[in-house]
């Protein structure tokens, strides 16, 4: 029987901010370390578990609650549940945090103008043209996390830096085993992560 304690790693941020890319890279590392991991991607969940829900605030809240419910089931059974969803409203993210308990919020922060410039899926352009209504960040709000355990700034960091921030935070919180001696972190980055966790009262 596995002695692994589950937890939920919740990625939030605007569309195109890099949530899923970072989540998948983190998943790979956790799997390499022998942990049981399940990724719940917001887009995939919407076409399966939450099919039929729209984009009103009530439906968005329901979508996030359902993802949180599944994360809770997985976490309490020893799995690392990784959720990657825009999850624009703070109160519902906090609802999931309270329900799950072992909950680590990762805010993938990127300025709107940078995202509109990237616009990989062409969604921002459609939203600006009025072809998509209620698009988060354009004509629907995004409420930034006030105290995320991890802040990754995807317009300033490369993927590896963001991933290591997440992994090192999980190590310092005692949620995953420590890194091999061969894996290194810069002293500056290490101190930034520790200071954030001190501010939040974890260490």
Residues with catalytic function: 87
- Backbone Cα Rg of the chain: 17
Q: Hey, which residues does 200 pair with through a beta bridge?
A: none
Q: How many helices (H) and strands (E) would you count in the chain?
A: 8, 5
| Token pair in block for residue 132 | 């998509």
Three-state SS sequence of 93-146? HHHHHHHHCCEEEEEEECCHHHHHHHCCCCHHHHHHCCCCCCCECCCECCCCCC
The answer to whether residues 83 and 38 touch, using CB atoms and an 8 Å cutoff, is no
Handedness of CA 173, 76, 62, 113 (dihedral sign): positive
């Amino acid at each position: 029987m596995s002695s692994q304690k589950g937890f939920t790693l919740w990625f939030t941020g605007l569309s195109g901010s890099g949530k899923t890319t970072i989540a998948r890279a983190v998943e790979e590392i956790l799997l390499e370390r022998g942990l049981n991991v399940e990724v719940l991607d917001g887009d995939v969940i919407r076409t399966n578990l939450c099919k039929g829900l729209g984009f009103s605030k009530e439906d968005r809240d329901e979508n996030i609650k359902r993802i949180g419910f599944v994360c809770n089931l997985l976490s309490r059974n020893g799995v690392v549940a990784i959720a990657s969803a825009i999850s624009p409203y703070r109160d519902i993210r906090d609802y999931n945090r309270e329900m799950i308990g072992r909950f680590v919020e990762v805010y993938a922060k990127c300025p709107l103008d940078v995202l509109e410039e990237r616009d990989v899926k062409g969604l921002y352009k459609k939203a600006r043209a009025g072809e998509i209504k209620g698009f988060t960040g354009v004509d629907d709000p995004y409420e930034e996390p006030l105290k995320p355990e991890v802040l990754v700034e995807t317009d300033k960091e490369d993927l590896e830096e963001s991933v290591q921030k997440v992994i090192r935070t999980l190590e310092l919180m005692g949620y995953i085993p420590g890194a091999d001696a061969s894996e290194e972190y810069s002293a500056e980055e290490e101190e930034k992560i520790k200071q954030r966790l001190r501010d939040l009262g974890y260490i």
